[in-house]
Structures are given as C-alpha cells and as structure tokens.
Structure 1
Amino acid sequence: MPDGKGTHGSRTRDRDPGLQPERTRLAWRRTTLACAVAASLAGRQTLHSGIDPASLVVLALVVVAWLAFLALAHRRIRAMRMPRPPALSPRAAVAAVACTFALAVLGAAMLR
C-alpha cells in the first residue's frame, strides 16, 4: 500500500531507466563526431592558410583535446552499457567541458 511519499511501504523499487541510457550513449557519440569535425576543420584550415610553427602548435593542441575527449566519451559510452550506469563523476564532467572549451578557443585561434 502506498505511503503517500511515492514508495510502497518498506519495499524499494528498482528504477527502470527505459531508453535513457541509449539516448545518453547516442548523445556522447554525436558530440564525439562534432569534435572530430571541428578537429578536421582545424587541420583543413592549417593546410589552406599555410603551415607555420604557430599553426602546427595550435593544430597539435586541437588533436590532443580531441583525443582526450574521445577517450572520455569512449569510457562513458562503455559505462552506459551497464544496467545501472554510474553517474558521471565531477572530474569527468569538468574534463569534458575543458576539452570542449579548448576546441572552441583553439578553433578561434586558428582563424586569426
């Protein structure tokens, strides 16, 4: 019998995640693809604007940021396969934001 607080007595109910883990996994894949496109465009911009040492350094940083995001996303996608995936750690969330921000800043630096 419900106790008025959304639970049934002393029994605990397992959360049914439904399709949420699949949607989250697909969102990570889309974001990884968007980062890959940004890195590819940075490489294209470097080739078309002339290769100089500064452009190569920025391009190398873009590739590092993309690879870091790729590793983070791959780890999260694998975690989403579990029946009850763990929450994204604050450290991983900050790393994902830092990679995204780095790609944006480095992309702007490529257009100088």
Structure 2
Amino acid sequence: MNRDPGAQPERTRLAWRRTTLAFALVVALAVRGAATADEGRAAAGALVAGTALLWVAFLVLAHRRIQALAARRPRPAGGTVPLAAAVVAAAALCAAALLAGPW
C-alpha cells in the first residue's frame, strides 16, 4: 500500500491548531475563574496574565511548526516540540496555582 506523503503533515498541522484552540479555552476559563474570585484578585489576575503570555508563546511555536510543515519536505520538529511541552507544563502550573489559591 502506498503512503500519501501529504497526509501526515496535514494531520500534524491540524493537531497543532486543535491544541492551540484548546489552550485558548484554558486561558478563557482562567479569566472566568479570576473574574469570579472574591479575594486575591490581583494574584489571580497575575496568574491569568502569565497564562495568556504562555498561550502567545505557544501560538508562536505552533505557527513556526505549521510553517515548517508547509515545506515540500518538512524538516524534523527540532526544539519546537520540547519548547511547546515546557510552555504547556508552565501553564499547568499556573492552573494549579489558580485552583489552590485562596480566591
């Protein structure tokens, strides 16, 4: 069976886009949680701002990877995937701090 060389980069590009949208939803939920906080709004706002900055960083990484996949012969992911994983882990720490806080 012949493999379609265009199918895998297309699936990977779609996966990066889905992940970026899911990350945006996490930021929106964090904003909602901070907006409904009774106390500690400044700290919650700072965590939400940090999470939003992490989302922007992830958006840049995803865009770089999608651009690389658009090439005729996509190059390996290199440092994009480990950096994206680090950004997601940092966002998870922000989310844990938001959940654990007194707000």
TM range (shorter): 0.7 to 0.9
Bigger radius of gyration: 1
**2:12 paired residue number:** 24
Is 1:88–2:65 an aligned residue pair?
no
Runs of 5+ unmatched residues, structure 1: 1-14
Deviation per CA, 1:21-45, whole angstroms, max 9, x where unpaired?
1000000001101100001111110
Amino acid at match of 1:48: T
Higher helix proportion (structure 1 or 2)? 2
**Candidates 66, 69, 72, aligned match of 1:77:** 66
Deviation per CA, 1:60-94, whole angstroms, max 9, x where unpaired?
110111000001001111111111111011x3222
Root-mean-square deviation (Å): 1.6
Contact 2:65/2:80, CA 8 A, preserved across alignment: no
Matched residue count: 97
Decide whether aligned partners of structure 1 residues 34 and 100 sit closer, same or farther in structure 2, where only a CA change above 3 A counts: same
Runs of 5+ unmatched residues, structure 2: none
1:111 partner SS: helix
Q: What is the TM-score of this pair, normalised by structure 1? A: 0.79
Runs of 4+ in structure 1 deviating by more than 2 angstroms, as ranges, are none
Give the Cα–Cα distance (whole angstroms) in 2 for the partners of residues 105 and 74 of structure 1.
23
Q: What is the TM-score of this pair, normalised by structure 2? A: 0.86
